[in-house]
A and B are shown apart, each in its own frame.
Chain A
Amino acid sequence: MNRRESLKALGLTAISTTLLLDACKPGKQETPNAESASQAGRQQFEVERDKALQSAKFFDEHEMATIAVLADIIIPKDDRSGSATDAKVPEFIEFIVKDIPEHQTPMRGGLRWLDLQSFNRFEKPFKDASPAQQISLVDDIAYPNKVKPGMLQGVEFFNRMRDLTASGFFTTEMGVKDLGYVGNKPNRWEGVPQDVLKQYGFEGMV
């Protein structure tokens, strides 16, 4: 079977490249059969586990609001893409701490640590502090190499928060587009493009 027939077998019956690419475009509306089709290749226990996790709730509203503020401080909207909350990063974090429970205590405790810091400085929980106040506090925990004594717990929390925000943002359609990842679709790999070979001094090498 050649590549063209392969793609047919894949269910991508449209052979023209443009249609092919359309078929693989992120976010393309799924067919009505999507519900059952989306469970193909998943084990029963996985489907049930996901369902249970989706219906459970870990963070309370106050915590979720704090996560939203932090996530948008970490990844704000810019001229290329939206913010962390635009990409529903807080919802992802709510899911992932249920999925990977080792995140739970550091996240819950870290959020509470942050609120206590905020109360001591501004007499307000972090989410209700002014943007300038929030940033002044974040500045104390966002730079591991110049952390002041007594703030290391905050650095640890913020490192985790930064990692979860990046994971949550760059694995969405918006984030993948922002990065410029252009794979995950049928194509033919012919080697490094000529201009790139030239850029790095690999001309004439394969």
Chain B
Amino acid sequence: MSDFQIKKSDVEYDAIIVGSGAGGGMAGYVLAHAGQKVLMLEAGDYYDPRTDSLQLKWPWESPRRGASTTRPFGDFDAAYGGWSLEGEPYTQKNGSEFAWFRSRMLGGRTNHWGRISLRMGPEDFQPKDGLTDKWPISYDDLKPFYDKVDRLIGVYGTKENIESEPDGIFLPPPKPRLHELFIRKGAKKAGVTVIPGRGSVLTEALPGNKDRGSCFFCGQCGRSCKVYADFSSSSCLVIPAVKTGNLKVITNAMVREVLTDKSGMATGVSYVSTKDLQEYQVRGKVVILGASAGESARLLLNSKSPAHPNGLANNSGVVGKYLHDSTGASLSGFLPQLMDRKRYNEDGVGSVHIYSPWWLKDKKLDFPRGYHIEYGGGLHMPGYGFGGGMQNMNGMLPGRDGKKKEAGGYGASLKDDYRRFFGTGVGMAGRGTAIARESNYCEIDPKVVDKYGIPVLRFNYKWDPDEVKQAKHMQETFKEIMDGMGAIITSDLPGADTSYGLEAPGKIIHEVGTVRMGDDPAKSALNKYCQAHDCKNLFVVDAAPFVQQGDKNATWTILALSMRTAEYILSQKKKLNVA
């Protein structure tokens, strides 16, 4: 290590953005279009869906037929990363089982996400039950930015006038598929609302946008879209921002810490190149973190200095605390009435065609808040696992001759069963509000570093009985819907021993809350513009600022918040000494 040195850049950017996902991408887009000179650092590889998406590949083009061996959501999924990264560990405390999904690539996790694009509602920001702190902003504060995000990026949906599920500016939604008509029927019997989905997929051309194509209905948004017909930060924000000439992106740049001067102001960041393993320092008038709720908290906690002995922006001690992910539980089965169904192309869009917004808002239940339901099923392209567990299904129904078959088997009759069952599957998954709790947190593990020598995160997260009760309610609802549409349930009905199938925290990949906003600097790290109370030229634009999420998927709110913060930075140029 005798040649160890730190390469310092002479350039001072107007802003340095750490991370290129929804938050970082939006901040970069807004600032670059306003003429700011911006540097964006991304820890992973360059990625452009146009050239790198594995869209329209057939299962046989993967030797593992799309199995999830190296990519958790399958071989064609657009995530470079997963629950564990080579050389980049995280640890747990007190038996915690937090699962942390990281995508190391331009655009981050927006390349493969479900594109479900929901606004949080008025009570999500200003809860009336007193259980959690209110956000320092209201729905009305964010509404203009949700509107602008809708226009800039595009989202399909329908006006429903449900107060807790605010309407946006919508493109037409895709029509329901056959299994979704059955779901609607079953849900109606169970008293569950079903409305058209809301997703950031261009079902029609986006007015005023010449760079993005319209959806051609392959149903593969998870692979990211070669014609940019769905929202990925890479395709829709970062790459267009680079084209302005004002945004420079450095990939494979793993940021180590935010640098500050004696007065405590941010001066830039230091990073290690994951390719040449050299150390770099870059300077900026403003530092914007969009590295993800986990990584932004980690960065702040690792940025200790005499001016910020407790970690940057952490005089309050809240950084890392109030970590919360959506709750999740699911149930699957098949529709016997769809045996031997007619074949046609129903790939549709890769986001949801229908969903159930929380429908029991005013009902007294034994748990707080609520959840929404996402549905699946249909004639999917076969992949690894196709036909698995046939012995658990084919003994339940009569064969073509009308006689009940013996479960399992082999030969021509079994081969026929795979055809008969194709496209009969149906499933549903709940995504619910988990309460932000101070006792659920991430912190720096005092003993462990990653392969770059950066101290890693240690998680401490425990579900509360309230969340378990919510999962129980989900399962009871799922069963009612399944029964209502005449489906046969094939997954085990989870009971109390498995917390009703409640997924481990982190598994839904909606983790938020680690650098929360608030008006009181003693109880929050950021003010209502996501600006650090303790460091005025430091901002956080990912999901870390969330005070409390609703049952809504976080991305649309990240985008709206980041746009609002970026516009605030522009409005404060003089005060922030930004050119």
The verdict on B373 contacting chain A, using a C-beta distance below 8 Å, is: no
Question: Chain A's nearest CB lies how many Å from the CB of B397?
Answer: 14
Q: Which residues of B from 409 to 438 have beta carbons under 8 Å from A? A: 409-412, 414-415, 418-419, 422
A176 x B175 contact (CB < 8 A): no
The verdict on B53 contacting chain A, using a C-beta distance below 8 Å, is: yes
A10 x B226 contact (CB < 8 A): yes
Q: Of the candidates A1, A144, A146, A199, which one forms a contact with B212 in the assembled complex, judged by CB atoms under 8 Å apart?
A: A1
Q: Which residues of B from 58 to 83 have beta carbons under 8 Å from A? A: 58-61, 63-67, 69-70, 78, 80
Question: Chain B's nearest CB lies how many Å from the CB of A173?
Answer: 6
A99 x B64 contact (CB < 8 A): yes
In angstroms, Cα B56 to Cα A100, docked, is: 25
The verdict on B213 contacting chain A, using a C-beta distance below 8 Å, is: yes
> Which of B278-286, B380-388, B511-519 lines the interface with chain A?
B380-388
A1 x B211 contact (CB < 8 A): yes
> Which of B214-222, B360-368, B555-563 lines the interface with chain A?
B214-222
The verdict on B576 contacting chain A, using a C-beta distance below 8 Å, is: no
In angstroms, Cα B39 to Cα A49, docked, is: 34
B213 x A142 contact (CB < 8 A): no
A6 x B229 contact (CB < 8 A): yes
In angstroms, Cα B284 to Cα A32, docked, is: 46
B218 x A184 contact (CB < 8 A): yes
Q: Which residues of A contact B410 (CB under 8 A)?
A: 73-74, 138, 142, 162
B56 x A185 contact (CB < 8 A): yes
> Which of A39-47, A57-65, A118-126 lines the interface with chain B?
A39-47
Q: Which residues of B from 334 to 373 have beta carbons under 8 Å from A? A: 337, 341-349
Question: Chain A's nearest CB lies how many Å from the CB of B236?
Answer: 13
Q: Which residues of A contact B147 (CB under 8 A)?
A: none
Q: Which residues of B contact A167 (CB under 8 A)?
A: 65, 384-388
The verdict on B242 contacting chain A, using a C-beta distance below 8 Å, is: no
B39-63: contact bitstring with A at CB < 8 Å (1 yes, 0 no)?
0000001010011111010111101
Which residue on chain B has the smallest CB distance to residue A23? Answer: B56
Question: Chain A's nearest CB lies how many Å from the CB of B335?
Answer: 10
A192 x B176 contact (CB < 8 A): yes
In angstroms, Cα B203 to Cα A190, docked, is: 11
Q: Which residues of A from 177 to 201 have beta carbons under 8 Å from B? A: 178-193, 195-197, 199-200
A171 x B409 contact (CB < 8 A): no
In angstroms, Cα B64 to Cα A155, docked, is: 24
Question: Chain B's nearest CB lies how many Å from the CB of A66?
Answer: 15
The verdict on A9 contacting chain B, using a C-beta distance below 8 Å, is: yes
The verdict on B447 contacting chain A, using a C-beta distance below 8 Å, is: no
Q: Of the candidates A99, A166, A172, A195, which one forms a contact with B388 in the assembled complex, judged by CB atoms under 8 Å apart?
A: A166
Which residue on chain A has the smallest CB distance to residue B217? Answer: A189
A171 x B175 contact (CB < 8 A): no
The verdict on B501 contacting chain A, using a C-beta distance below 8 Å, is: no
A142 x B382 contact (CB < 8 A): no
The verdict on A92 contacting chain B, using a C-beta distance below 8 Å, is: yes
The verdict on B507 contacting chain A, using a C-beta distance below 8 Å, is: no
28 intermolecular pairs with C-beta atoms under 8 Å apart: A6-B213, A6-B215, A6-B229, A10-B216, A10-B226, A26-B58, A53-B63, A96-B384, A99-B64, A143-B406, A155-B408, A162-B408, A163-B390, A166-B388, A167-B388, A170-B418, A171-B66, A179-B419, A183-B345, A184-B56, A186-B216, A186-B218, A187-B347, A189-B174, A192-B175, A199-B342, A200-B181, A200-B337
Q: Interface of A with B (CB < 8 Å)?
A: 1-3, 5-7, 9-11, 24, 26, 38, 40-43, 45-46, 49-50, 53-54, 73-76, 78, 92, 95-96, 99-100, 138, 142-146, 155, 158-159, 162-163, 166-168, 170-173, 175-176, 178-193, 195-197, 199-200, 202, 205-206
Q: Which 9 A-B pairs have the closest CB atoms?
A: A6-B213, A191-B175, A166-B387, A41-B52, A171-B59, A186-B216, A180-B343, A171-B65, A183-B347
Q: Interface of B with A (CB < 8 Å)?
A: 45, 47, 50-54, 56, 58-61, 63-67, 69-70, 78, 80, 86, 174-178, 181-182, 205, 209-220, 226-227, 229, 337, 341-349, 379-391, 395, 406-412, 414-415, 418-419, 422
